[in-house]
Structure 1
Amino acid sequence: MPPLIIFDLDGTLIDSRNVMEESFREAFIAVVGGNGEPPLDDFYDLLGDSFPNILRRLGLPQQMAPVFKAAAQRRIADIDAVPEALDACKELHRRGITLAILTGKDRERTHEILTYFSIDRIFGAVAAGSDGFTPKPAPDGVLLLCGTLGYDPSDSVVVGDSAFDIQSGRSAGARTVACTWGMGRVEELKAAEPDGFLQHPSELLPYLLEAIA
């Protein structure tokens, strides 16, 4: 049986950095006030965790969460696809490969984004930040998806753009693929010791097809 391929969403399949920045800034100003700059760099460093957890780790009020979510939902049309990555997912699905999503985004927004890009039906399962499991870099999301879809973690591949993605996959016992076109720092991705290291989205499909052959 071909392996399960688990994809991170943001930075790997889509690019919503501008949307997240504008929405985070809007929520910060609305709740914290206009004095000072929102800690955007620290926010980016924690992506992969759920937004409420990120707020706790940054010492920011939880009241920012619904404001951020509403602002991000209003901006869904501003999210960019990574076309070669989406095409790779579609082709893998066409070939009968089981795919899943592991993301720190909440389930409602994840479903909206997958539906917006017409890829919601190609993923067999989604593990989202609002589902209650311990987030990346813990292995829990990978193990949850493997259990849901009936795969051993050793028969799965985790694809993501952050060191958290790679650490999550490695600690679960999965193979890992690092993508450098997202928001993760290259040096941190290399330090996480992924099994594969891709520099352009066009490399994704041929790499995965060879990896699962």
Structure 2
Amino acid sequence: MRGAVLLDLDGVLLDSRDAHLSTLAGVATASLGRRITTADLPPHAATTPRVDVLAGLGVADPDEICELWWAPALATASAELFPGVMDGLQALKDADVVTGLVTLQSRSRLPWLLPPATLGLLDTWVCREDAQPKPAPDGIFLALTRLGVGPREAVFVGDTFTDRQAALEAGVAFAGAGWGYVGTEGLAAAGMSVLLSEPTQIGPGLLDLIRTGSNPRRVTTRNQ
């Protein structure tokens, strides 16, 4: 079997929603000089660009503040792999499916966000400094170029609307990760036709989306 499965990091491989919100609160606290908790964050803070959230809280120059404080604050937060992720990545490798990570995280953070064994199962990593961030398709195109796979042979698994937009612009099939930041109901309400309900559905069966050329309402593939 040949083809590529590209994956987002946060909300797809890594259960980092709480860590992301804690980091937002920590950066706001450091900037404003008063305590900001996750309860003080606006609704949908997890899926809103971080600079917009911080600006709404009154943080001046949020881009500069993130450059200064984001990595240290994130390093103190706890995030774990979703159960089933390692099995799914191993199943893809066993089926000779190449894989790529397309993330907004910086490359320097990957070693302390993901275990070495996880990084070892990914054939390429495209990070914030490598390409224009999603929703631009540049990161997906770069991953496909590195892997030697065309858009029609690839599936991108993401959990947000920006992930979907990037996939559409790149011309690759998209599968929504319902366990991520937006959730199954939110993705379905936005009209996403291919929805995965649990991380154990990451596997070679995703390539059926390419072969069939159709988008069932829900995918129930299991690792083989």
TM range (shorter): 0.7 to 0.9
More displaced stretch, 9-18 vs 105-114: 105-114
2:128: which partner in 1?
129
After superposition, the Cα gap between the structure-2 partners of 1:41 and 1:86, relative to the gap in structure 1 and judged at 3 Å, is farther
**Ranges in structure 2 where 5+ consecutive residues have no aligned partner:** 212-224
More displaced stretch, 194-203 vs 120-129: 194-203
Shift, 1:23, TM fit? 2.0
Name the SS of the counterpart of 1:118 in structure 2.
helix
Shift, 1:112, TM fit? 2.8
**Mapped partners of 2:54, 2:31: distance in 1:** 14
1:8: which partner in 2?
8
Q: Percent identity?
A: 26
1:120: which partner in 2?
119
Shift, 1:85, TM fit? 2.4
CA contact (8 A) 1:110 1:128 kept: no
Q: CA RMSD in A?
A: 2.5
2:222: which partner in 1?
none
CA contact (8 A) 2:184 2:197 kept: no
Shift, 1:43, TM fit? 3.7
Q: Which amino acid aligns with 1:142?
A: I
**Aligned equivalent of 1:178, options 139, 164, 176:** 176
After superposition, the Cα gap between the structure-2 partners of 1:67 and 1:150, relative to the gap in structure 1 and judged at 3 Å, is same
| TM-score (norm: length of structure 2) | 0.79
1:44: which partner in 2?
46
Shift, 1:211, TM fit? 4.2
Q: How does 1:185-200 map to 2 (within 5 A)?
A: 185-190=183-188, 193-194=191-192, 196-200=194-198
Which stretches of structure 1, 4 residues or more, deviate above 6 A after TM superposition?
A: none
Shift, 1:119, TM fit? 0.9
Shift, 1:194, TM fit? 4.1
**Mapped partners of 1:181, 1:32: distance in 2:** 33
Name the SS of the counterpart of 2:167 in structure 1.
helix
More displaced stretch, 4-13 vs 196-205: 196-205
2:69: which partner in 1?
67
Q: Which has the larger radius of gyration?
A: 2
More displaced stretch, 202-211 vs 152-161: 202-211
After superposition, the Cα gap between the structure-2 partners of 1:8 and 1:180, relative to the gap in structure 1 and judged at 3 Å, is same
After superposition, the Cα gap between the structure-2 partners of 1:31 and 1:45, relative to the gap in structure 1 and judged at 3 Å, is same
CA contact (8 A) 1:167 1:192 kept: no
1:137-160 CA-partner distances (Å, limit 9, x unpaired): 121111111112222112111001
**Ranges in structure 1 where 5+ consecutive residues have no aligned partner:** 48-53
CA contact (8 A) 1:2 1:212 kept: no
**Mapped partners of 1:188, 1:171: distance in 2:** 21
Q: Which amino acid aligns with 1:98?
A: V
After superposition, the Cα gap between the structure-2 partners of 1:157 and 1:125, relative to the gap in structure 1 and judged at 3 Å, is same
2:51: which partner in 1?
55
